[in-house]
């Protein structure tokens, strides 16, 4: 599972572009660095905080232990509101975020809050989306699945681990749209409490398709229980995932990455902002972090600072358009 080759190939330009940011004056040092995980212990955000915090300390990138605070509720909305309303000018604070954060912001699911109220620091990796079927399914390719939906939308139920309108749902809709399905609302999506539960129902025969992250499907792909018919990445991944066909090479130009990263308070000073951007960037390039990414099935997404801000803005816009189309946003 070597992502480094791809990283060099695909994102060399991005690394070069971010390099100047890394050379900033060190006129800020956090006294008590703190990471808010907007979910209960054990979830994805919690682990983003804990792993990044631990790696930063192991590499001596921060002066003391990163304190992780769990502030769950509202799918991250409670933490977002807390940061905007009460802790807007703190320099020592970062908050874990992911595509789910962008999705909720795009759908106005954090009442009264918008993406420009915080400062987007950087990403630490991405989990690419997959669309899969059971190993014994007649469906062999993504176009097969899309044709089946076109022919009789009611006959194909696709399950995923997020709520309706959530990222797993949107990924399959992005693919459907690219495949020429005009009314994406006809795609039947069944929401489950997690990717694992949805895969179980795929194996049990209740569902015809699965949409989720590569890391969720990994174990079942290796065992041969399910077949990935499309990886929603710009190009094939390396190592053990080299066999997985991308949607793009099957003529359906759909990309869906569940990124993980951080934002900071909107009133954070520029010195602090540069400090955190630089730390995340240095961390990302370290061998230690590359190993952690590999262990967790994270693919490269090396975006920090201004580029990350633009990336988040763009993905929010995209999600908003799609959500409007399926009626989640009025």
Partner 1 sequence: METLGNLADGFAVALTWQNMALALMGCFLGTIMGALPGLGPSNGVAILIPLAFTLGLGPTPSLILLTSVYYGAMYGGRISSILLNIPGDEPAMMTCLDGYPMAQQGRAGEALALSGVASFVGAFFATWGLVLLAPQLVKVALLFGPAEYFALFALAFATLGGISSTNQAKAAFAAALGLGLAMIGVDTQTGVPRFTFGEVHLYDGIDFLVAIVGLFALSEVFVFLEHRGTDRDISTKPHVEIGSIVPSWKLLGHCTPTMLRTTVLGFVAGVLPGAGASLGSFISYSMEKRLVDRKGLTFGKGDPRGVAAPEAGNNAAAGGALVPMLALGVPGSGTTAVLLAVLLSLNITPGPLLFTQNPDVVWGLIAALFIGNFMLLAMNIPMVGLFTRVLLVPPRILMPIVAMVSFVGIYGISGSSFDLMVMVGFGLMGWVLRKLDVPLVPVILGTLLGNEMEVNLRRAVNISDGDYTVLVSSWLTIGLWTIAVVGFLAPVLFGGLIRRRMRMARDEEGSLSD
Q: What are phi and psi of 297, to 5 degrees?
A: 65, 25
Stretch that binds partner 1, among 87-95, 217-225, 256-264, 280-288 (CB under 8 A): 217-225
Binding-site member from 35, 71, 130, 257 for partner 1 (CB under 8 A): 71
According to CB under 8 A, which residues from 178 to 197 bind partner 1? 188, 190-194, 196-197
52 binds partner 1 (CB under 8 A): no
85 binds partner 1 (CB under 8 A): no
CA angle (241 as vertex; 143, 98 as ends), nearest 5: 85
164 binds partner 1 (CB under 8 A): yes
Report DSSP state, residue 298: P
According to CB under 8 A, which residues from 279 to 298 bind partner 1? 295-296
Binding-site member from 56, 94, 142, 199 for partner 1 (CB under 8 A): 199
d(CA 302, CA 6): 12
Residues forming a β-bridge with 126: 259, 299
Least Å distance, CB 185 to partner 1, is 12
302 binds partner 1 (CB under 8 A): no
β-bridge pairing 93-98 and 257-265: antiparallel
174 binds partner 1 (CB under 8 A): no
69 binds partner 1 (CB under 8 A): yes
Report DSSP state, residue 53: H
Least Å distance, CB 190 to partner 1, is 5
Binding-site member from 6, 7, 28, 51 for partner 1 (CB under 8 A): 51
Nearer of residues 45 and 275 to partner 1, judged by Cβ: 45
Q: Contact at 8 Å (CB) between 247 and 131?
A: yes
Least Å distance, CB 208 to partner 1, is 9
Q: Contact at 8 Å (CB) between 184 and 325?
A: yes
77 binds partner 1 (CB under 8 A): yes
Nearer of residues 259 and 308 to partner 1, judged by Cβ: 259
Nearer of residues 207 and 303 to partner 1, judged by Cβ: 207
Least Å distance, CB 38 to partner 1, is 10
43 binds partner 1 (CB under 8 A): yes
Q: What is the DSSP string of 90-124?
A: -SSEEEEEEHHHHHHHHTT-STT--GGGEEEEEEE
Q: Contact at 8 Å (CB) between 283 and 289?
A: yes
Assign residue 165 a region: left if phi > 0, alpha if psi is -120 to 50, beta otherwise?
A: left
Q: How far is CA 329 from CA 163, 188, 320, 322, in A?
A: 15, 18, 7, 9
81 binds partner 1 (CB under 8 A): yes
The alpha carbon of residue 320 and the mean position of all alpha carbons in its chain are separated, in whole angstroms, by 16
Is 77 strand, coil or helix? Answer: helix
Q: Which residues bind partner 1 (CB under 8 A)?
A: 40-43, 46-47, 50-51, 54, 68-75, 77-78, 81, 107, 109-111, 154, 157, 163-166, 188, 190-194, 196-197, 199-201, 203-207, 215, 218-220, 222-223, 225, 295-296, 328
């Amino acid at each position: 599972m070597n992502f480094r080759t791809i990283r060099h190939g695909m994102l060399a330009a991005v690394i070069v572009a971010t390099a100047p940011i890394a050379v900033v004056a060190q006129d800020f040092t956090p006294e008590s660095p703190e990471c808010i995980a907007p979910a209960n212990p054990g979830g994805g955000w919690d682990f983003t905080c804990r792993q990044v915090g631990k790696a930063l300390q192991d590499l001596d990138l921060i002066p003391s232990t990163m304190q992780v605070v769990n502030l769950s509720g509202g799918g991250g909305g409670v933490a977002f509101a807390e940061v905007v309303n009460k802790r807007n000018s703190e320099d020592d604070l970062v908050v874990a975020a992911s595509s789910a954060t962008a999705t909720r912001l795009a759908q106005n699911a954090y009442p009264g809050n918008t993406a420009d109220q915080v400062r987007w620091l950087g990403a630490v990796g991405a989990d690419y989306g997959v669309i899969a079927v059971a190993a014994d399914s007649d469906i062999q390719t993504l176009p097969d699945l899309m044709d089946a939906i076109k022919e009789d939308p009611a006959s194909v139920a696709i399950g995923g681990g997020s709520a309706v309108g959530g990222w797993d749902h949107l990924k399959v809709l992005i693919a459907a749209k690219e495949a020429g399905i005009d009314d994406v609302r006809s795609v039947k999506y069944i929401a489950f409490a997690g990717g694992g539960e949805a895969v179980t129902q795929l194996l049990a025969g209740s569902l015809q398709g699965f949409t989720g992250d590569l890391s969720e499907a990994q174990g079942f792909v290796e065992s041969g229980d399910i077949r990935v018919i499309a990886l929603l990445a710009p190009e094939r991944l390396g190592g053990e995932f080299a066999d997985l066909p991308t949607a793009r090479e099957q003529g359906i130009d759909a990309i869906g990455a569940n990124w993980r990263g951080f934002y900071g308070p909107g009133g954070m000073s520029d010195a602090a902002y540069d400090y955190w951007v630089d730390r995340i960037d240095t961390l990302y390039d370290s061998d230690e972090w590359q190993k952690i990414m590999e262990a967790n099935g994270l693919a490269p997404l090396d975006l920090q600072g201004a580029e990350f801000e633009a990336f988040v803005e763009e993905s929010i816009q995209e999600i908003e358009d799609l959500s409007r189309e399926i009626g989640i946003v009025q």
